[in-house]
Amino acid sequence: MATGTIKKLISDRGFGFITAEDGKDYFFHRDGLSGTLDFDRLTGGEKVTFDVESSPRGPRATNVRAE
């Protein structure tokens, strides 16, 4: 499990990016949020924990939840 901060949101497209504590950026989709977060209420800067999984376009964050 990794920790990081919501860096950027593309609200109209339903995705965003998380900057992990190690400095890497991870893509996430609204479907990858756990029940503790509501994509429509995110503003950026929220501290989160997440899992990383492989995808055809590279690693992405899943099971994103409030820290």
Q: Residue 57 belongs to a domain with what CATH number?
A: 2.40.50.140
pLDDT exceeds cutoff 90 at 64: yes
Average pLDDT of the chain, as a whole number:
95
pLDDT digits (tens, 9 = 90+) for 26-48: 999 999 999 888 999 999 999 99
Mean pLDDT of 44-66: 95
Mean pLDDT of 6-10: 97
Cβ within 8 Å of residue 57, ≥6 positions away: 27
39 lies in which domain range? 2-66
Q: Considering its fold, how many domains does the chain have in total?
A: 1
Q: How far is CA 67 from CA 29, 43, 47, 56, 58, in A?
A: 18, 15, 6, 27, 24
Compute how many other C-beta atoms are within 10 angstroms of the C-beta atom of residue 9. 19
CA 49 to chain centre: 8
